[in-house]
Each structure stands twice: as C-alpha cells, then as structure tokens.
Amino acid sequence: MLDGCTPWPEIFAERYRAAGHWRGHTLDALLRGCALQYGPRTALVQGNTRLTYAQLNRRVERMAAGFRLRGLRPGQRVVVQLPNVPELVVSAFALMRAGTIPVFCPVTHREPEVSHAARVTEAAGYVGPSVRDGFDHRGMAADIAARWPFLRRVFTYEPPGAASPYGGMATDSSGCHYFPLDSVDAPPDRPLVRSAGEVAFFLLAADTSDTPRLVPRTHDDYACQARVAAESAALAEGDVYLAAPSAEFTLTLGCPGIIGTLMAGGTVVQAETGTPAECFALIERERVTHASLMPAVARHWLRELFASDADLGSLRLLQLGGASAEGAAAEELGGASACRVQRVHAMPEGLLILTPASEPHGRPLSPDDELRIVDAEGKDVPEGEPGELLVRGPHTVRGYYRSPGLDAQSFTADGYFRTGAVVRLTPPTGTGVSLRRDEGHRSVSGI
C-alpha cells in the first residue's frame, strides 16, 4: 500500500480474498484478459470512433510504453482531467499499466482543486485538454508546474482535427516538458508485476471546500465494486452502457459504469455533450441497454422524451444518481421510457447502495458490507430510529490520503466510514425491506 494510505487490516483482507471479493487482478490486467476473451467485440464508441477490445488494449499497451518513454516512472502520480472522450479511458488504463497512479479530477475543476490534488500527491504529470469550453487548462497546468517542482510533464489532449501548439514536444524555462497526448506512443514493454492490493487511482471526495479529500482506491476493492454493481444492474456480456458527461464521475466510472461494463464484456458508448437529443440518438443507434443520469438531467429527459421519435426500446435500466426526493421523477421517467429505474447512492469512498425507484429503501451490495446506525454520541440506535450510517467492507476505504486529521473525523477506530447519511434500519418484514438478516445483510431506509 502506498505511503500515506490506510490499509485494510490483514484479517479483513484475508476474509475478503477467501470470500472471492478480492481476486488478485489489477484493473489493467483485467482489461488485457477481456481483450483475449472478447477481442473483436466493440468495447468503446464515441462519434465515429469505434474500438474493439483488441484495439483498445493495443492502444493502452502502446500509450503505457509512451508514458514510460517520456519519463513517467512506476509509483508516480499523474493528475487526469479529461472530458468524456476515448482518450480518458485509454490514458487511465495506460497510466495504470505503466505502473503510475491516476488522480482523477473532474474537467470542471479549476486551479484550487487541481493544484491541491497535485500538491498532496506530489504529481509528476498532468493529462488534460489544451482548452475546454473557453478555459485554458494548459495555462493552468503551467502555473501549477511553476509552483510545484515535482510536476514536470504535461500531456495535452487536442480535439480531433486540431493542431497541437507543441508539435512533438516543448520545454518551458522551468524545465517542464509538454507533449500532445496523441504523440504518446511506443512499442509495448514487458508487463509490470504488481499487487492488486496497490492503489489503482485516486478519486476526489464530494467536498465543497478548497481542499478536497483524496480517496485511494485499490485494484482489488474497485474491481469488487464494479463487478457486484454490474451483477446488481444485470449488466452482462453484450450489453451497452451509455456514459453521459452530465453524470457524476463516480457514477459513470464504476457503478458499474465504464469499468464494470468492460469487465462484463459490454460496450461503452460515450456521449459528447450529454444533451437529451444526443443521448436519445445514441440509445437508438447503438441499442443502449443501460444508462446513468443525475436528477437535473433526468428532468430534461422527461421534458423532451415525449417530443422525440427516437426508438428507446433497447433501454432496460436507467440509473439515477441523487437523493430519494427524486423518487417521483424517477418513477415517471421509468414509465415514460418503459425501462426499470434504479436510484444510486454512491460515494468515492466506496459506499454504494442501489435502490429501486419505487421504493424508499436500499441495500449495500456485498454480503460482507457491515453497517452501523448511530446517534450523535456514536451509540447504536434501536431499529427504526434515525441515525448516521457507518459502513465498512471490501469496497469501502479505511482512510483518505495523507489526511490523518480528516481520518480521525471521518473514520472510527475500528474502521467504519462515517457517511454523514441519515438513515433508519428497517425490519426484516413489511414495507421497505430490501434485505433479510438471515442473508447476512441489513436494509437501510433514507429519511
């Protein structure tokens, strides 16, 4: 485990491995296995770009070698701030295959959040757009590199047809090197030997402060999350997932999202703008079976759904991120689109609860997810009484990165994550039940 990260105690790690939650495969190795199993099948689609599993894995191999050729070393951290384009998927897997650790930042984040992520992780590189929606990401990266001497490699994404301002590469007066991302290519190296218990990437916790919390996710724990989420969503080989940029990154990455879809042998379709018109056209053209939305976007879908003549008959499941207050809109959207709607409560720290749209309750995904519901003093509340949800399990982290003060506030001494969610424990029978005690689960109902 990377210095500054809190590992799972070995007794828990052994339990999760024995139960099959942790299977010992890195995420990039899982992609390599999928390329062998599903080689000619379409893995990734955006616009006119279509990559088979074999092509995607080959591009990942060559980009990983290119990153290493350009000076990135195993164990180094690299901030990734790309829009919803194929290069996001390729570069993320390529960085992991090169042994480096992506630090995912939403493309909408600006200097305070990105600089904080770069400083705390001592990032050696940055991957992002040159300019996006009028904002100069290249200039922001240059300012951060001038401030923090460990950031010495900037890789910029240029939209198709756009010319890179660097040509092959450039170096500024501070010694920072700049490369166009499409030039990062080299013959594949020999695979690195790594442990699936190592940190795969960092996510930024949902935080409104200028100092976002960095969440270290391991290969084992995130593969577990994506796999069980795919099973819960009935997403399997041959299914098609629509990744819309209007959905939260946590939702579209692994709930089951992009990673869960690829692990299952499905196809990921990336929407460029996320507008209802674009998404409806993609659902019809690509025969999309699963999609994810945020509540505000779902309302836009509802407004435009009846005016559209697109064939949405392939859509089986629509995931809606957000609070239970959106239940009525979720049910209406499900009825209008004739598909099942599932509300998703997901946190970068690993808590993931999937709830049918018509029900106010949900359940954690793994039989080894452990729940406590406590009062303000940390004491367990009686069944049916409201309290804060605490959780620990095979895909819930044990601490933030290099943040002992935050860990003391957000995690108990015995490893439970304080979610901040107010819930109540429902009885094993009657309305609102999703799990039974005799299955080793407990159900929770939001209030």
Residue 118 maps to which CATH number? 3.40.50.980
The answer to whether the Cα torsion of 231, 235, 238, 243 is positive or negative is negative
pLDDT at 430: 36
Distance CA 121, CA 201 (A): 11
Cis peptide before 149 (omega within 30 of 0): no
Residue 37 lies in a domain: no
Distance CA 91, CA 136 (A): 20
pLDDT at 300: 85
Q: Which residue has the tokens 């998404």?
A: 279
Total count of domains within the chain: 1
Q: Residue 131 corresponds to which amino acid?
A: V
Q: Are 387 and 378 spatial neighbours (Cβ–Cβ below 8 Å)?
A: no
- Going along 30-96, which residue ranges are E strands? 42-46, 49-52, 77-80
pLDDT at 358: 61
Residue 229 lies in a domain: no
pLDDT at 143: 95
CA separation, residue 6 to residues 197, 216, 217 (Å): 12, 9, 11
| DSSP H/E element including 284 | helix 276-286
Q: Furthest-apart CA pair in the chain: how many Å?
A: 69
Residue 438 lies in a domain: no
The answer to whether the Cα torsion of 247, 249, 250, 254 is positive or negative is positive
Residue 176 lies in a domain: yes
Range of the domain at 189: 51-193
pTM value is: 0.93
pLDDT at 435: 27
Collapsed DSSP state (helix, strand, coil) of residue 136: coil
Residue 81 lies in a domain: yes
The tens-digit pLDDT sequence of the chain (447 residues) is 788 999 999 999 999 999 999 999 999 999 999 999 999 999 999 999 999 999 999 999 999 999 999 999 999 999 999 999 999 999 999 999 999 999 999 999 999 999 999 999 999 999 999 999 999 999 999 999 999 999 999 999 998 767 666 556 788 877 899 999 999 999 998 889 899 999 999 999 976 555 789 999 999 999 999 999 999 999 999 999 999 988 889 999 999 999 999 999 999 999 999 999 999 999 999 999 999 998 888 888 888 887 889 999 999 999 988 655 455 666 677 777 778 988 888 999 998 888 776 666 677 788 899 999 999 999 999 988 999 999 999 999 999 999 999 999 999 999 999 999 888 887 654 333 232 222 334 556 554
Residue 201 lies in a domain: no
pLDDT at 175: 84
Residue 175 lies in a domain: yes
Residue 160 lies in a domain: yes
